[in-house]
Amino acid sequence: MLQLQHIQKRFRSFLMEIGELSYFTGRFFRESFKRPFEFKEFMRQCYNMGNRSLLLVAITGFIIGLVLTIQTRPTLLEFGAVSWMPSMVGISIVREIGPIITALVCAGKIGSGIGAELGSMRVTEQIDAMEVSGTNPFKYLVVTRVLAITFMLPLLVFFSDAVALFGSFLVENVKGDVSFTLYFSQVFNALEFGDIIPATVKSFFFGMAIGIVGCFKGYYCKKGTAGVGKAANSAVVFTSLLLFIIDFIAVFVTDIFYDL
């Protein structure tokens, strides 16, 4: 009986959090179109989230390209289809692996950072001080960060895809003596706009999900230093789950359009 009550309480709490997150998202869209526009803060956040994530994204993408090629090459070689390696790796990385892995990396780095930063501002009452002084903290802190990661994540995905394909080329060049021109000509011949556009569109949604969840967890952080850590941790967990849900919906919708 106690176990059932505990489950009901957790489920009720989960539904309340979903409702609060939905209201938070609606408020973000309302505030985004209101003046004044915090352009300087938006550009500063773009620099912080984009430029400072390049190295981590590059390393991750490079390793993905290496591992995917090394693991797949023996199987294709066994079936005499190793010439399809550039096409297969290119489509796999651009369509699915590049966007979702880059989004997960950014969720861990940027999402947790946003949650911890806004959480510490809430705990130290800096957000309350901004409200008292007449500044709109939601527009200055939340809108700028969500828009920044929304616009920067697709660029990070493009960069990660390029580095991953280069890592794959290095393996093919060493093991198969494939030239740079031949490898990337096969990659671009295999790719179509139907591969690039859905991946780019869902990257925007990935970025928005990372920003909204991170800001939501930090903005409504509970008091105390433990609340800041919990906000950062729950932002990463909740965002990761949400990214997989968005990815499933995007793949499902794209598959419907392919069938039409």
How do residues 55-69 score in pLDDT, each as one tens digit?
A: 999 999 999 999 999
**177 dihedral zone (left: phi>0; alpha: psi -120 to 50; beta):** left
Amino acid 60: pLDDT: 94
Q: How far is 240 from 191, CA to CA, in rounded Å?
A: 28
Tokens of residue 159, six digits: 């960069």
Indicate whether 25 belongs to any domain: no
Q: How far is 158 from 99, CA to CA, in rounded Å?
A: 8
Instruction: Render pLDDT for 224-251 as a digit per residue (tens, 0 to 9).
Output: 777 788 888 888 988 999 999 999 999 8
The domain of 58 spans 39-259
Indicate whether 61 belongs to any domain: yes
The number of residues in the chain equals 260
Asked whether the predicted pLDDT for residue 219 surpasses 70, the reply is yes
Amino acid 230: pLDDT: 84
Question: What is the residue-averaged pLDDT of the chain?
Answer: 88
Indicate whether 88 belongs to any domain: yes
Nearest CA-CA partner of 148 in 235, 52, 49: 49
Say what the pTM is.
0.90
Asked whether the predicted pLDDT for residue 25 surpasses 80, the reply is yes
Nearest CA-CA partner of 98 in 169, 186, 160: 160
Q: How far is 238 from 99, CA to CA, in rounded Å?
A: 18
Amino acid 2: pLDDT: 60
Amino acid 178: pLDDT: 84
Asked whether the predicted pLDDT for residue 184 surpasses 70, the reply is yes
Q: How far is 19 from 29, CA to CA, in rounded Å?
A: 16
Tokens of residue 222, six digits: 């509970």
Nearest CA-CA partner of 72 in 100, 96, 92, 95: 92
Number of domains the chain contains: 1
Amino acid 243: pLDDT: 93
Indicate whether 12 belongs to any domain: no
Indicate whether 30 belongs to any domain: no
Task: Quote the DSSP letter at residue 34.
Answer: S
Residues 6+ apart with CB under 8 A from 242: 209, 213
Amino acid 152: pLDDT: 94
Indicate whether 15 belongs to any domain: no
SS3 sequence of 86-124: HHHHHHHHHHHHHHHHHHHHHHHHHHHHHHHHHHHHHHC
Kindly state the helix (H) or strand (E) to which residue 231 belongs, with its residue range. Answer: helix 225-259
Indicate whether 155 belongs to any domain: yes
Q: How far is 157 from 254, CA to CA, in rounded Å?
A: 19
Instruction: Render pLDDT for 40-56 as a digit per residue (tens, 0 to 9).
Output: 989 999 998 988 889 99
Instruction: Render pLDDT for 132-182 as a digit per residue (tens, 0 to 9).
Output: 887 788 888 899 999 999 999 999 999 999 999 999 999 998 888 888 899
Asked whether the predicted pLDDT for residue 87 surpasses 70, the reply is yes
Indicate whether 181 belongs to any domain: yes
Mean pLDDT value of segment 72-76: 87
Residues 6+ apart with CB under 8 A from 238: 213, 217
Kindly state the helix (H) or strand (E) to which residue 216 belongs, with its residue range. Answer: helix 193-219
